[in-house]
Amino acid sequence: MADKKFIIDRRTALKTGLAGAAALATPSFFIRDAWADDFCNIPKGKDVVFGFNVPQSGAYADEGMDELKAYQLAVKHLNGEGDGGMLKTMKPLALKGNGVLGKKVTFVSGDTQTKADQARATAKRMIEKDGAIMITGGSSSAEAVAVQSLCQDVGVIFMAGLTHSNDTTGKDKRAYGFRHFFNAYMSGVALGPVLAEAYGKDRAAYHLTADYTWGWTQEESMKDATEKQGWKTVKAVRTPLGAADFSQYITPVLNSGADVLVLNHYGKDMINSLTQAVQFGLRDKMANGKKFEIVVPLFSELMAQGAGDAIKGIYGTANWDWKLEDAATSAFTKSFGAAYGTPPSQAAQTCYVQAILYADAVERAGTFNPSKVIAALEGFEFDGLGNGKTLYRAADHQCFKDVLVVQGKEKPKDKFDLLEVKKVVPASQVTYDPSIFGGELGSKDAKACG
């Protein structure tokens, strides 16, 4: 017998090579999605955890507590419990009322104490210990900016709650951060012409400003907007966040030559500074031959309740009001009122909407992978969540919708009927070029918990 030699010709080598390559490629074909889904806190069981990070103490505790109520309501509605709230009105809607991607939504919460460092610490705890797939909340822009930056680092989506600083979606914007609430720039653009119409163009304004990111951008936006209307700015004074007694900052206003006081304060600070300004007789005062006026660029029903009679006649702006007459607002107010016995605040509405929008984006993306959820949220246009047609702009992750100019009611019917919507400024008038505030979104890639 002739010896059989193991000879591989060129054709055999090619065949073997191709077969081997196909065999090697096959596993990667099957596991391709598994690689792509390597992201922080992949939900493995039947549940998915949302992290609600709100101030339950400190200057913005009122808003925080209302936000938490709204989140709990959103969780109920996402899981198909209760009356469904704004899930009945949202368009387009991918959610099915069976949780998110079939997983039941559960939640953990943290008290940020209205402090940025504490907000960051509680968010970190929720991501690392509780396995939160997303973080949402914050009633202060300092908190929002700090938590948003953390979320970018660890690769977890942050749906901002009540934050009004231009910086949140401006110079400090992040790919993993999204804001539904409006901002200080929009307040200024909406409020400026209304103030000029109500109080005239020859006015001198004195600003008292909360000394942190929101206050600074609010002051800047109000100065720009009122100076465009012909007003002068006499002085802008920074006050510490959480100062209980503002009397030493209010007394210099009396003889400053100003005839308008702009209070760039929010929450408890605004309640205290406005009440004390009224106690010092500013609203009964005449200056430069005109009646002295007070303006609070951003305020809510909750703050109006705290300020009592002092809020009557005061102009400001709001993101939303429970007395709007659209079907979505009615559905949400009914749902919230039945659960908690009070109408929802604007903080509650924006937080409820953010939780729903995140869940809906996951459902549309078909995955919890944040890079795909980000893509689903960017440029998303929706309606039926209380603010009319709204766009989540891809360039800065800021929502664009109508802005409300409100005024404290002179004769409220009850303790919830404190604000009157004076004007609805269309989204087109408050839309701006995203480049004016600078900042970079950064990487959208998914990562394994930073």
Partner 1 sequence: MDAIVLQILNGLDKGGAYALIALGLTLAFGTLGVVNFAHGALFMLGAFCAVVFNKLLTLEIVKIDPTRTTPWGSPLEIKTPYVQAMLGDWGKVLIDYSVPVSILLAIPVMLLIGILIERGLIRFFYKRPHADQILVTFGLAIVLQEIVKHFFGANPIAQSAPALFSGSLQITEAIVYPYWRIVYLCFSLVVIGAVFAFLQLTTFGMVVRAGMQDRETVGLLGINIERRFTIVFGLAAIVAGLAGVMYTPIVPPDYHMGMDFLVLSFVVVVVGGMGSLPGAVLAGFLLGILQSFASMNEIKGLLPGIDQIIIYLVAVVVLLVRPRGLLGRKGVMES
- The residue ranges that bind partner 1 (CB under 8 A) are 56-58, 61-62, 64-65, 235, 237, 240, 242, 244-245, 247-249, 251-252, 254-256, 268, 271-272, 275-276, 279-281, 284-285, 306-308, 322-323, 333-338, 343, 416
Q: In terms of CB distance, is 232 or 235 closer to partner 1?
A: 235
CB of 200 to partner 1, least distance (A): 23
Q: In terms of CB distance, is 62 or 172 closer to partner 1?
A: 62
Tokens of 117: 């460092």
Q: In terms of CB distance, is 226 or 272 closer to partner 1?
A: 272
Contact 165, 145 (CB under 8 A): yes
CA triplet 80, 85, 88: central angle to 5 degrees?
80
CA distances from 282 to 152, 165, 223, 261, 278 (A): 45, 27, 20, 9, 5
Question: What does the DSSP assignment read for 149-204?
Answer: HHHHHHT-EEEE-S---GGGGTTT--TTEEE-S--HHHHHHHHHHHHHHHH-S--E
Dihedral angle computed from the Cα positions of residues 145, 306, 113 and 333, in that order, rounded to the nearest 10 degrees = -70
CB of 62 to partner 1, least distance (A): 5
Q: In terms of CB distance, is 248 or 428 closer to partner 1?
A: 248
CB of 218 to partner 1, least distance (A): 20
H/E stretch holding 72 reads helix 61-78
**CA 211 and chain centroid, separation:** 20
CB of 344 to partner 1, least distance (A): 10
CB of 341 to partner 1, least distance (A): 8
Q: In terms of CB distance, is 329 or 369 closer to partner 1?
A: 329
Q: In terms of CB distance, is 11 or 413 closer to partner 1?
A: 413
CA distances from 204 to 59, 198, 227, 261, 311 (A): 29, 14, 10, 9, 21
What are the φ/ψ torsions at residue 339 (nearest 5 degrees)? -80, -40
Q: Which residues pair with 291 in a beta bridge?
A: 286
CB of 132 to partner 1, least distance (A): 23
CB of 279 to partner 1, least distance (A): 4
Q: In terms of CB distance, is 195 or 282 closer to partner 1?
A: 282
